[in-house]
Amino acid sequence: MQVKKQIVGWREWVCLPELGIEAVKAKVDTGALTSALHAIHLRRFQENGRPRVRFDIHPLQKRSDITVHCVADVMDEREIRSSNGHVESRPVIRTLLRLGEDQWPIELTLTNRDSMGFRMLLGRRAMRRHLIVDPSASYLFGR
């Protein structure tokens, strides 16, 4: 079955409903394979034999007064090389991404993105079969 692809801008507001994140600004990055989400106070633990992680996120850049507390299953641990060549081991979670009326599961690595311009990076794996990027556009699904 062919899914109709949505056209998105180079940055969009997205929702991560399973994590309780109603809106986070994501940079749509065709140069990145993996998606990443800003996570602070990361705490790994086991529950019923499953590896899990607790973390907090300030979903709005430059706003520390809004915090969302999240819990998710850890599905993997990956070595990620940043654009500046630094390698970091990150937990990987799987969660739903909602953009407009559509939603689908994506993988996210968790890392502190305080120094970055966006709280979330949407990489090629998450976009595949769902999105077409118009690099001249922004916020096609509203602010």
Lookup: tokens for 58:
């300030």
Does the pLDDT value for residue 132 go beyond 80? Answer: yes
Does the pLDDT value for residue 1 go beyond 60? Answer: no
**Residue 142: which pLDDT band, with cuts at 50, 70 and 90?**
confident
Shortest CA distance to 94 belongs to which of 79, 72, 112?
Answer: 72
The rounded distance, in Å, linking the Cα atoms of 99 and 20 is 15
Domains of the chain listed by start with CATH number? 7-38+74-134 (2.40.70.10)
Beta-bridge mates of residue 91: 77
- What is the model's pTM? 0.90
Q: With H, G, I as helix, E, B as strand and everything else as coil, classify residue 16.
A: strand
Instruction: Kindly state the DSSP code that residue 18 receives in the 8-state scheme.
Output: G
